[in-house]
Amino acid sequence: MDEPGQLTEFGKILLIGVMGVLLVLVTLLLGKIISPKNPTPEKLTTYECGEEPVGSSWIAFNPRFYVIALVFLLFDVEMIFIFPWATIFGRPELIAVDARWGWFTLAEMAIFIGILVIGLIYVWKKGDLEWVKSHAVLPRVNVNIPKSAYEKLNREPYPVRKFEPFATEPQKGNTSQNTENQIKRPAFKPLLRKPGGTSS
């Protein structure tokens, strides 16, 4: 019969958690009691990597920081899986029972890490890990228009004219009147479609 005072494995984890919380609280309490109290405006400002804060904190945040954080989180979680794997399957007792355990666990972890590395290489090749992309990728569309037609259009000079929303038209009967007396008509004729689908 087992002794009732014996700790289970969950009890050990609970004890470690309680001790961790107590150590943090005791450290903060000692810092509050022992540290000198001499507040100044410089000491009370927000500290951010040694830089003085300027302006409001409600600003647009660069989304590239999230990419760096996601890559870090991905490989941080990977390390959390690797440590228990190494401690459990690296025991000599398991290897002594069956030597295939070592090769099986090695292949299993190689597949796990390989999937993550393939994803990292894919993102790296796309240039998503670069802070500033060195070159812009222009979209390409396959069309049957020859390239010489585009070059001809680009070489032709196009005069810039003043935009006038209404084109003027002289009145009938007297073309020598002042432009103020001329009738203005729209520069385009709008097409009004009826519910039946025909245009007026």
Q: How far is Cα 76 from Cα 73, in angstroms, rounded to an integer?
A: 5
Mapped onto helix, strand or coil, the DSSP state of residue 97 is helix
Contacts of 31-40 with CB under 8 Å at 24 or more apart are: none
Question: Above 90 in pLDDT, residue 30?
Answer: yes
- Kindly state the average pLDDT of the residues 106-124: 89
Q: How far is Cα 29 from Cα 174, in angstroms, rounded to an integer?
A: 98
The pLDDT value recorded for residue 23 is: 95
Number of H-type helices and E-type strands within the chain? 6, 2
How many CA atoms are closer than 13 Å to the CA of 31, on its beta-carbon side? 6
Contact 183, 171 (CB under 8 A): yes
- Per-residue b/e over 23-42, b at no fewer than 16 CB within 10 Å? eeeeeeeeeeeeeeeeeeee
Question: In the numeric block, which tokens belong to residue 147?
Answer: 């390239």
Query: pTM here?
Result: 0.39
Amino acid letter, residue 123: V
CA angle 134, 114, 101 (to 5 degrees): 165
Question: In the numeric block, which tokens belong to residue 129?
Answer: 């890990």
Phi and psi at residue 143, to the nearest 5°: -125, 165
The pLDDT value recorded for residue 18 is: 95
State the DSSP H helix or E strand holding residue 77, giving kind and residue range, or none if neither.
Answer: helix 64-89
Contact 56, 48 (CB under 8 A): no
What does the pLDDT look like over 123-177, one tens digit per residue? 888 877 877 766 767 777 788 888 888 888 888 888 887 777 665 555 555 555 5
Which residue segments constitute the domains of the chain, with CATH numbers given?
16-126 (1.20.58)
Check residues 64 and 165 and name the one with the higher pLDDT: 64
The pLDDT value recorded for residue 1 is: 46
How far apart, in Å, are the Cα atoms of 110 and each of 82, 83, 106? Answer: 11, 14, 6
